[in-house]
Amino acid sequence: MTNTPNAPLYPFRESPSQTAGPYVHIGLTPNACGIIGVYGEDLGTAMVTDATKGERITLELRVFDGGGAALKDVLVEIWQADAQGLYNSPAERRGNADLTFTGWGRRAADLETGVLRFETIKPGPIPFPDGRMQAPHINVWIVARGINLGLNTRIYFRDEAEANADDPVLARIEHSDRIETLLAKGAGGNYSLDIHLQGPRETVFFDI
Amino acid sequence: MKNSKPTATSYFTRDRAWHPKAYAPGYKSSVLRAPTRPLIAIGNSLSETTGPAFGDDIIGPLDNDLTLNFARPGESAIGERILVHGRVLDERGQPVPKVLLEFWQANAGGRYRHKKDGYLAPLDPNFGGCGRTLTGDDGSYAFRTIRPGPYPWPNGPNDWRPAHIHISVFGQAFAQRLITQMYFEGDPLIPICPIVRTIADPAAIEQLTARLDMNSSAPMDALAYRFDIILRGSRSTLFENRPEGN
């Protein structure tokens, strides 16, 4: 009886998030944490094959806390389009994405250095809902001990200055000096970005 | 140039007062890991409304049975044998079919198979602690495991986690991605746990508490707990005629 004023319009509410905790690796990267033999390989390890089209890149990320320490227990997932700007997803209805490219990667930080390294391709541009084009970007989802709800951010590329200048998402960032926090720097296909959860260099996080 | 209807679906806005806040000082690790600047709202573009899909080919026959998937031949994990089952639905109540769920947990004594866990309780040689499954066409899922034990953790001087199972869920979009924890009905550690208490609304805590389900238990084998998982609803139906309905 949704016409009854006090009845909820929709039957359910989203399950509330909880932290992934320090042992997230057991569930999401068991082979990397020494639990061998349950799964063949950890999901999200290989994004590309030899047949994947596009410019091969490596992406090295680190995530820092508000005290300036790199998180050693963080887990990051990335999601991105193929070289043509299409997603390898059932929800992609604009065309057929490159099926040799998963678009999705998952890494746990190195327990000693905190580095997360992805081998992928540079994504093509994606339309925004209003038809404008977004600059090439990679969606990032960060979970860890101490993070109660996964954090969403994006990686853009410093060498795509022209596209970045027209990007409708970057244009939403009122304090434009903060755009810098989303730009991976690099040369020769090797990009890196430091993500700061808190403090003067705090990365822009999105409510998506 | 012709006019065309927008192609992007979008998802119900997250209620960030229902979810735990980033900064929740009772849970000490959150203090230096919480952004202090406001999140920038960007809504959903195709980057957020698409997401990876996984096929049955990745799921092995024992992946949803934590009592057996790490056990030596002829043996199984020690502990209270349980079945956990439920449905993955969205906020409209629609089933979310063919999405990946991943689980991880401590053993019956509260010890994790992880080199950073130095708790005195011993490892169980027959228990790894991870499992996964895909939801069925009706959004249903099930896995078999042992009930995990509570364990102490260095937060307050005497803090203990309630028995819990971590659950990671993929929806049909990257915007629905969620990790949460499942607690067990009647556990007196729930209301005093600083991680549980990052959630302000008691109804939200209740939503993370699995109920004992005698009707689904396996007599002389395993008790059952029912745990439904709700993902963000989709806004797509009203203006778009999608082949899969909503």
Residues of A in contact with B179 (CB under 8 A): 17-20, 24, 143, 150
Residues of the domain holding B157: 58-163+194-230
Residue B183 lies in a domain: no
Q: Token pair of B114, please?
A: 């992880």
Beta bridge partners of B178: B169
Which residue in the set B20, B51, B173 is minimally distant from A17, CB to CB? B20
Residue B205 lies in a domain: yes
Look at residue B246 in the predicted model and tell me its pLDDT. Answer: 40
CB atoms within 10 A of CB B235: 18
Q: Token pair of A141, please?
A: 């989802």
Domain count for chain B, please give it: 1
CA distance A77 to chain B (A): 10
The fold of A42-196 is Protocatechuate 3,4-Dioxygenase, subunit A (2.60.130)
Residue B241 lies in a domain: no
Of B81, B132, B147, B161, which one is the catalytic site residue? B161
Closest CA to A152 of A207, A79, A73, A71: A207
pLDDT along chain A (208 residues), means of 10: 82 97 98 96 97 98 98 98 97 95 98 97 94 96 98 98 98 97 95 98 98
Q: Token pair of B104, please?
A: 């991880």
Look at residue B51 in the predicted model and tell me its pLDDT. Answer: 97
Chain-centroid distance of CA B223 in Å reads 20
Task: Report the residue of B7, B10, B40 to disrupt the A interface, i.e. the one with the largest count of A CBs within 10 Å.
Answer: B40
The C-alpha atoms of residue B100 and residue B123 are separated, in whole angstroms, by 27
Which residue in the set B91, B116, B172 is minimally distant from A14, CB to CB? B91
Q: Token pair of B43, please?
A: 């809504």
Contact B33 A104 (CB under 8 A): no
Name the average pLDDT for chain A: 96
User: For A24-82, what is each residue's pLDDT tens digit?
Assistant: 999 999 999 999 999 999 999 999 999 999 999 999 999 999 999 999 999 999 999 99
State the number of CA atoms in the 13 A half-sphere of B138 facing the CB.
7
Look at residue B6 in the predicted model and tell me its pLDDT. Answer: 53
Look at residue A149 in the predicted model and tell me its pLDDT. Answer: 98
Look at residue B238 in the predicted model and tell me its pLDDT. Answer: 53
Closest CA to B178 of A199, A19, A129, A72: A19
Look at residue A114 in the predicted model and tell me its pLDDT. Answer: 98
Which residue in the set B41, B180, B196 is minimally distant from A15, CB to CB? B180
Task: Let me know if B112 is a catalytic residue.
Answer: yes
Query: What residues of chain A, 100 to 139, have a C-beta less than 8 Å from chain B?
Result: 102-104, 111, 126-130, 134, 137, 139
Task: Let me know if B23 is a catalytic residue.
Answer: no
Residues of A in contact with B117 (CB under 8 A): 23
Look at residue B244 in the predicted model and tell me its pLDDT. Answer: 45
Distances A73 to A107, B30, B53, B90, B167 between C-alpha atoms, Å: 11, 13, 26, 30, 17
Look at residue B65 in the predicted model and tell me its pLDDT. Answer: 98
State ipTM: 0.96
Residue B16 lies in a domain: no
DSSP state of A181: G
**Which residue type does B10 have?**
S
Look at residue A6 in the predicted model and tell me its pLDDT. Answer: 83
Residue spans of beta strands (DSSP E) within B64-214 = 81-90, 100-104, 130-134, 140-146, 151-153, 159-161, 164-169, 178-184, 209-212
Q: Is the dihedral of CA A127, A132, A133, A134 positive or negative?
A: negative
Say if residues B130 and B100 touch (Cβ distance below 8 Å). no
Distances A91 to A94, B52, B147, B244 between C-alpha atoms, Å: 9, 9, 36, 10
Residue carrying the six token digits 């992946």: B63
Residues belonging to chain A: 208
- Ranges of each domain in chain A: 42-196
Closest CA to B70 of B144, B127, B24, B132: B127
Distances B186 to B80, B108, B204, B212 between C-alpha atoms, Å: 16, 17, 16, 9
Contact B51 A146 (CB under 8 A): no
Look at residue B43 in the predicted model and tell me its pLDDT. Answer: 86
Find, in chain B, the residue whose alpha carbon is nearest to that of A132: B45
Residue B19 lies in a domain: no
Residues of A in contact with B230 (CB under 8 A): 12-15
Residues of B in contact with A208 (CB under 8 A): 42-44, 48, 175
CATH number of B120's domain: 2.60.130.10
Closest CA to B167 of B231, B92, B235: B231
Low-confidence ranges of chain B (pLDDT < 70): 1-8, 236-246
Closest CA to B100 of B64, B152, B50: B64
